[in-house]
A and B are shown apart, each in its own frame.
Chain A
Amino acid sequence: MKFTLSWLKDHLETDASVDEIVEVLTDLGLEVEDVSNPAERLAEFKLGKVVHAEKHPDADKLRVCTVATDEGELQIICGAPNAREGITVVVCKPGMYIPGLDITISVGKIRGVESYGMMASERELELSDEHDGIIELPSGEVGDRFIDWLAENDPSKVDTMIEIAITPNRPDALGVRGIALDLAARGLGKMKPAKTASIEGGYESPINITIDESAATEGCEVFAGRLIKGVKNGPSPQWLQDRLTAIGLRPISALVDITNFFTFDRNRPLHVFDADKVNGNLRVHRTAGGETLVGLDEKEYSLQEGMVVISDDTGVESIGGIMGGLPTGCTEETTNVFLEAAVWDHIQIAYTGRGLKINSDARYRNERGIDPAYNMQAMDDATQMIIDLCGGAPSSVVTAGEVPDVSRAYKLDTDRVQSLVGMEIPAETQHATLEALGFTIEGDMAHVPSWRPDVRGSADLVEEVARIASLTKLEGKPLPRVAAGVPEQILSPMQKREQIARRTTAALGYNECVTYSFIDKAAAVLFGGGSDATKLENPISSEMSHMRPSLLPGLLQAAARNQARGFMEMALFECGAVFHGGEPGEQENLLTGILVGRTVGKDIHGESRGVDIYDAKADMEAVMNALGAPTKLTYNRGTNGWWHPGRSAKVGLGPKKILGAFGEIHPKVLDTLNVKGPVVAFAIHTAEIPMPRKKSASKGAVTMADLQAVERDFAFVVDADVEALTVVNAASGVDKALIEDVRVFDEFIGGALGEGKKSLAITVRLQPTDKTLKEADIEAVAAKIVAKVSKATGGTLRG
């Protein structure tokens, strides 16, 4: 919402400075977004007089002028055709900034003659686009400030423009008078009485109005109209044009400018029909759907079923409260005008406006709410202005529907301000504030003014009082602890777990990323997503069209971007939500890490090698361990398609309880996403890891056997596809009490063993608890281990 200082002063008597007004507006909740003050820009410039002008010795079009200024006479070279002796000009002296040229003037030499400044054109001072010559003033004395001259002779040129942001609850501030009321309530001035007119029509309006029953509820509340015969339309007077131009509107014609004036002056949208183009009477009704109308913006709108419009005998002529139609719009030739003032249902306006994608000043106001009680008075006020500017003879007013009664009152509990806001404001002040805003107080009830649709309860009254009193005066008051003493733990075990997961992974050398939750469809499909359920209806681009099914695509795309920048080795991770469907809750938090390229770059210590799945596995196990996962995990094949089928596994507690996965990413996936491999990855379903059952913090007693442990090594020749864990599990199962640990320490494939065979070497640690092991005991266990492993794997002890 834009307005000018002089416009504000139409309604508010005030001596407050622009700075004061701006500060108070923002504090009142009418946040100032822009202030444009020409006076500030032009403050330095003063008037001068050309006392002598002669042709430049070396240039036909230049003149050497002697200009009288407040600091004596200056020699100025000027190329303007009107630069001549005797005229009063605006002088720019060296060191001054010229806004229209964006330069600071300095002493210069033009064709060999020195010039001490310049004389400005209107364009150079950003007053207009005029640049045919320098400014030539009809009056004024040497040394007068230019802005003072403007203020006296052409005030609109130095009118300060203020733009405020309007929150949806404050339609009343969409009119300058409403803004003035807020300022007056704060004590920044006094309201001037509104200009009101009372017009008696001289004849019956030949155009009648009806509202169909279907449109009478939640459509159009009241529709008033009147014909004004014999108007002379044309450009509106300069003061009105200046007003509109100052707030960024284009003056069109007096009739249209008048409706725009009311829109911004009183938050009162109006419409004018060219009566000669209206066939028959006007009827407010709901559309059947499929009708079309070319609007005043010259765009064709196709109407959907149930919208509220105004039709004549020809068809739809106006989209009620949103935009008029071009065919019945007023032009310079209009002589008979039909003026409309109506109150529309604001919800209906919102839906229709959104459906047609029309953002007009009328929709903006009718959607937020206008003052319905002003409807009939607005008709007379606007008629008066039309007669004043265009002449014409008004008819009496025809009306359909009824002005809605919006009167209501709420209990004002003056103690509530203290309890809700925490400010102490005397009851009398509270009453005075509300009265200044247009409320009427009756006992403890406050009656809401008709222009404040936002006030819907007692809390709103508190808000008004606090707002006008100024929240800047609010003093903080300590919020006591819920209970005295040391605060309790507030993170849930799962929240704590995620923190641990994140920081453990970072400690393992991974850089944490935060990637977008939505990715492109192709990438989503690659990772088992991309269904319509996870699709966005209005994505910002095709790169962000589907909710991610996995953290891998985002990380791999990040890897590709980094590789394109020349970084080939990296470890990235993300901890965040993935989406399995489109319903609330169909999301799950994962932690996923990727290792890309080589373990390290070129390396003097010979440690650089391609990353492999055991790197990913180690990191995954470290994180799982930090999260308290059981140490005995199962590793199952049959991972999803984006993993390398032979080099990946689902990790869990049995085949049904999956805690995560690790492995190499399928080379085709890398290829599609432009990542140079190898890439290994791990993913952990953080919530799937069982929470510890015990509540106590006690870790239980540690067992540290006093007796000497014994280690024995075994090597088995087995088929190449026998998994190491089978051997380990078989060996560990021989005597769970005695065997403390079984570790694979060597794998040897092929060679003398022959095709399809390998040797796996394990070391078994025996930890006796009650007596020292004798050689015979060890031999017995060893024999059992050999037998059990052979049975489980079909292998043999390597000789």
Chain B
Amino acid sequence: MDELRTKYIEAIAAAADEATLEELRVRAVGKKGEISLKMRELGKMTPEERQVAGPALNALKNEINSALAAKKVALSDAALDARLATEWLDVTLPSRTRRVGSIHPISQVTEEVTAIFADMGFAVAEGPQIETDWYNFDALNIPGHHPARAEMDTFYTHRAEDDERRPHVLRTHTSPVQIRTMEKDGAPIRIICPGRVYRADYDQTHTPMFHQVEGLALGKDISMANLKWVLEEFFSAFFGTDVKTRFRASHFPFTEPSAEVDIQCSWEGGTVKVGEGDDWLEVLGSGMVHPNVLKAGGIDPDEYQGFAFGMGIDRLAMLKYGIPDLRAFFDSDLRWLRHYGFASLDQPTLHGGLNR
């Protein structure tokens, strides 16, 4: 029996292919195989003999079957290895080109600003970009003769000969949206108004179109101290670091008292860093909404009060992301779009963070 075992186990181990293995299987454990024949002879044995030979034969059969199966797997693995060894590709060849899109910094920053103010309960209000001069000026306490009108470099729309109306304007700020929202929704109110605005100015630091976001909060007891807190919260969240603000008295026709707001910064080698250092950078105009503006929006100034502020989205983007030239925002240079753009799924959220 040992002889039989040695013969087959060795032969299986030496088999070079599946055909040889099959042949061995038939010879050993096939219906007429050597082991099968020996098992048939068990019946002719004495019970005592059978008790010894039976289990031994069974064990041998199992052992040979296992060896066959293992060898079969080994052979097919070897065959696969041999095939794979021939399947070689140059992994340094370029990948299939996949276009990569991007989100413009204006859109990204607008969403960042929106996310922060949303958390403080500010909704997003929108309005027309071509405005009547009433919404753009008069309602904001800037009557026709007011020097601020001349200073705003306003774009006017064309009027036909027989059209006696005053020309419309391209909104010079997003403040008209505040008036429209007051008219529509009344107080209390918390909104921001992001969007395109226009001024007839073009040089190193000015483009005739840019983006503003204004904020308006009206309530029974909203004060300038609340404004300061809101802005400091905003800037700290936006820049991802604690940012101090400095309020300076100023004047805007639509607010009273009015303040220019500076944020803390440092200047090093011509670049500005927000939230550190001893210098101040003017970024925003604000104040308590003028009673005349509230009246224009149909709100009783004896009952409601609140603050308004406005700042440049482009400017915020430049400061935060180190973009040097405003004019390039609107040039659509692919190199610029790819460098300063944002991944499509990089949607700013407070829980996911606003800083990359």
Residue tally, chain B, CB below 8 Å to A: 95
Q: How many A-B residue pairs have CB under 8 A?
A: 273
Query: Which residues of A (494-518) have their CB < 8 Å from a CB of B?
Result: 495, 499, 502-518
Residues of the A chain whose Cβ atoms lie less than 8 Å from the Cβ of B103? 502-503, 506, 512
- Mask of B301-343 contacts with A, CB within 8 angstroms, 1/0: 0000100000000000000000000000111111001100101
| A544, CB-defined interface residue at 8 Å | yes
Instruction: Please measure, in the bound complex, the distance between the C-alpha atom of A607 and the C-alpha atom of B122, giving whole angstroms.
Output: 48
Contact: B224 with A487, CB < 8 Å? no
| B39, CB-defined interface residue at 8 Å | no
Residues of the B chain whose Cβ atoms lie less than 8 Å from the Cβ of A544? 208
Distance of B238 from chain A, by nearest CB (Å): 16
Contact: A512 with B333, CB < 8 Å? no
Query: Which residues of A (582-636) have their CB < 8 Å from a CB of B?
Result: 582-587, 600-601, 603-605, 607
Residues of the B chain whose Cβ atoms lie less than 8 Å from the Cβ of A538? 155-156, 200
Contact: A479 with B222, CB < 8 Å? yes
- Mask of B163-198 contacts with A, CB within 8 angstroms, 1/0: 000011010000000000000000010100000101
| A698, CB-defined interface residue at 8 Å | no
| A457, CB-defined interface residue at 8 Å | yes
Contact: A29 with B124, CB < 8 Å? no
Residues of the A chain whose Cβ atoms lie less than 8 Å from the Cβ of B32? none
Instruction: Please measure, in the bound complex, the distance between the C-alpha atom of A570 and the C-alpha atom of B248, giving whole angstroms.
Output: 47
Most buried by B among A167, A460, A576: A167
Instruction: Please measure, in the bound complex, the distance between the C-alpha atom of A540 and the C-alpha atom of B200, giving whole angstroms.
Output: 6
Most buried by A among B144, B145, B252, B331: B145
Distance of B186 from chain A, by nearest CB (Å): 15
- Mask of A339-363 contacts with B, CB within 8 angstroms, 1/0: 0000000110011001000000000
| B137, CB-defined interface residue at 8 Å | no
Task: Of the listed stretches A470-478, A653-661, A759-767, name the one at the interface; the rest are far from the partner chain.
Answer: A470-478
Distance of A236 from chain B, by nearest CB (Å): 31
Instruction: Please measure, in the bound complex, the distance between the C-alpha atom of A49 and the C-alpha atom of B124, giving whole angstroms.
Output: 73
| B229, CB-defined interface residue at 8 Å | yes
Instruction: Please measure, in the bound complex, the distance between the C-alpha atom of A418 and the C-alpha atom of B155, giving whole angstroms.
Output: 40
Contact: B260 with A502, CB < 8 Å? no
Instruction: Please measure, in the bound complex, the distance between the C-alpha atom of A480 and the C-alpha atom of B208, giving whole angstroms.
Output: 38
- Mask of A545-578 contacts with B, CB within 8 angstroms, 1/0: 0010000000100100110010100111101110
Task: Of the listed stretches A206-214, A529-537, A718-726, name the one at the interface; the rest are far from the partner chain.
Answer: A529-537
Contact: A459 with B290, CB < 8 Å? yes
| A650, CB-defined interface residue at 8 Å | no
Q: Which of B144, B159, B223, B347 contacts A422 (CB 8 A)?
A: B223
Distance of A459 from chain B, by nearest CB (Å): 5
Contact: B131 with A487, CB < 8 Å? no
Task: Of the listed stretches B22-30, B68-76, B113-121, name the one at the interface; the rest are far from the partner chain.
Answer: B113-121
| A525, CB-defined interface residue at 8 Å | no
Distance of A347 from chain B, by nearest CB (Å): 4
Instruction: Please measure, in the bound complex, the distance between the C-alpha atom of A571 and the C-alpha atom of B338, giving whole angstroms.
Output: 12
Instruction: Please measure, in the bound complex, the distance between the C-alpha atom of A555 and the C-alpha atom of B122, giving whole angstroms.
Output: 33
Contact: A476 with B229, CB < 8 Å? yes
Q: Which of B145, B196, B198, B232 contacts A476 (CB 8 A)?
A: B232
Contact: A584 with B168, CB < 8 Å? yes
Most buried by A among B103, B151, B226: B103
| B97, CB-defined interface residue at 8 Å | yes
| B43, CB-defined interface residue at 8 Å | no
Instruction: Please measure, in the bound complex, the distance between the C-alpha atom of A536 and the C-alpha atom of B198, giving whole angstroms.
Output: 12
Contact: B249 with A28, CB < 8 Å? yes
| B356, CB-defined interface residue at 8 Å | no
- Mask of A679-698 contacts with B, CB within 8 angstroms, 1/0: 00000000000000000000
| B80, CB-defined interface residue at 8 Å | no
Residues of the B chain whose Cβ atoms lie less than 8 Å from the Cβ of A454? 251
Given contacts A168-B251, A537-B158, A582-B157, contact A478 B229 (CB under 8 A): yes
| B40, CB-defined interface residue at 8 Å | no
Residues of the A chain whose Cβ atoms lie less than 8 Å from the Cβ of B93? 604
Residues of the B chain whose Cβ atoms lie less than 8 Å from the Cβ of A474? 224-225, 228, 247
Contact: A420 with B288, CB < 8 Å? yes
Q: Which of A471, A533, A570 contacts B257 (CB 8 A)?
A: A471
Residues of the B chain whose Cβ atoms lie less than 8 Å from the Cβ of A266? none
Query: Which residues of B (101-133) have their CB < 8 Å from a CB of A?
Result: 101-104, 106-107, 111, 114, 118-124, 126, 128-132
Instruction: Please measure, in the bound complex, the distance between the C-alpha atom of A290 and the C-alpha atom of B3, giving whole angstroms.
Output: 135
Distance of A377 from chain B, by nearest CB (Å): 26
Instruction: Please measure, in the bound complex, the distance between the C-alpha atom of A481 and the C-alpha atom of B230, giving whole angstroms.
Output: 11
| B150, CB-defined interface residue at 8 Å | yes
Contact: B230 with A587, CB < 8 Å? no
Contact: B97 with A603, CB < 8 Å? yes
Contact: A490 with B124, CB < 8 Å? yes
Instruction: Please measure, in the bound complex, the distance between the C-alpha atom of A144 and the C-alpha atom of B281, giving whole angstroms.
Output: 40
Contact: A512 with B217, CB < 8 Å? no
Distance of B292 from chain A, by nearest CB (Å): 9
Instruction: Please measure, in the bound complex, the distance between the C-alpha atom of A506 and the C-alpha atom of B96, giving whole angstroms.
Output: 19
Most buried by B among A423, A506, A541, A603: A506
Distance of A626 from chain B, by nearest CB (Å): 11
- Mask of B195-231 contacts with A, CB within 8 angstroms, 1/0: 0101011100000110000000100011111101110
| A482, CB-defined interface residue at 8 Å | yes
Instruction: Please measure, in the bound complex, the distance between the C-alpha atom of A418 and the C-alpha atom of B347, giving whole angstroms.
Output: 40
Given contacts A490-B118, A532-B160, contact A513 B101 (CB under 8 A): no
Residues of the A chain whose Cβ atoms lie less than 8 Å from the Cβ of B145? 346-347, 350-351, 367
Contact: A31 with B223, CB < 8 Å? no
Residues of the B chain whose Cβ atoms lie less than 8 Å from the Cβ of A577? 129, 196
Given contacts A471-B257, A512-B337, A512-B341, contact A587 B101 (CB under 8 A): no
Residues of the A chain whose Cβ atoms lie less than 8 Å from the Cβ of B135? 584
Contact: B101 with A571, CB < 8 Å? yes
| B344, CB-defined interface residue at 8 Å | yes
Residues of the A chain whose Cβ atoms lie less than 8 Å from the Cβ of B167? 537
| A153, CB-defined interface residue at 8 Å | no
| A491, CB-defined interface residue at 8 Å | yes
Contact: B148 with A168, CB < 8 Å? yes
Q: Select from chain A the residue with minimum beta-carbon distance to B225.
A: A422
Residues of the B chain whose Cβ atoms lie less than 8 Å from the Cβ of A646? none
Given contacts A459-B256, A506-B101, contact A368 B147 (CB under 8 A): yes
Contact: A476 with B333, CB < 8 Å? no
Contact: A502 with B147, CB < 8 Å? no
Contact: B168 with A583, CB < 8 Å? yes
Contact: A515 with B305, CB < 8 Å? no
Q: Select from chain A the residue with minimum beta-carbon distance to B282.
A: A31
Contact: B223 with A420, CB < 8 Å? yes
Distance of B230 from chain A, by nearest CB (Å): 5
Contact: B330 with A481, CB < 8 Å? no
Contact: A570 with B334, CB < 8 Å? yes
Instruction: Please measure, in the bound complex, the distance between the C-alpha atom of A482 and the C-alpha atom of B209, giving whole angstroms.
Output: 34
Contact: A536 with B229, CB < 8 Å? no
Residues of the B chain whose Cβ atoms lie less than 8 Å from the Cβ of A778? none
Residues of the A chain whose Cβ atoms lie less than 8 Å from the Cβ of B148? 168
Q: Which B residues fall within an 8 A CB radius of A?
A: 93-94, 96-104, 106-107, 111, 114, 118-124, 126, 128-132, 135, 144-148, 150-151, 155-160, 167-168, 170, 188, 190, 196, 198, 200-202, 208-209, 217, 221-226, 228-230, 232, 246-253, 256-260, 288, 290-291, 305, 329-334, 337-338, 341, 343-345, 347
Which 10 pairs across A and B sit closest by C-beta, in order of nearness? A422-B225, A509-B99, A476-B229, A167-B251, A29-B249, A558-B332, A506-B344, A422-B223, A506-B101, A600-B97
Q: Given A423-B224, A466-B257, A562-B334, list of 12 further CB < 8 A pairs?
A: A29-B258, A168-B148, A420-B288, A471-B249, A472-B246, A482-B121, A508-B99, A513-B104, A513-B332, A540-B200, A561-B333, A582-B158
Listed by A's residue number, 7 A-B pairs whose Cβ atoms lie within 8 Å are: A27-B249, A29-B249, A420-B257, A421-B225, A422-B226, A471-B247, A573-B101
Q: Which A residues fall within an 8 A CB radius of B?
A: 26-29, 31, 167-170, 346-347, 350-351, 354, 367-368, 418-423, 454, 457, 459-460, 462-463, 466-467, 470-472, 474-479, 481-482, 487, 490-492, 495, 499, 502-518, 532-541, 544, 547, 555, 558, 561-562, 565, 567, 570-573, 575-577, 579, 582-587, 600-601, 603-605, 607
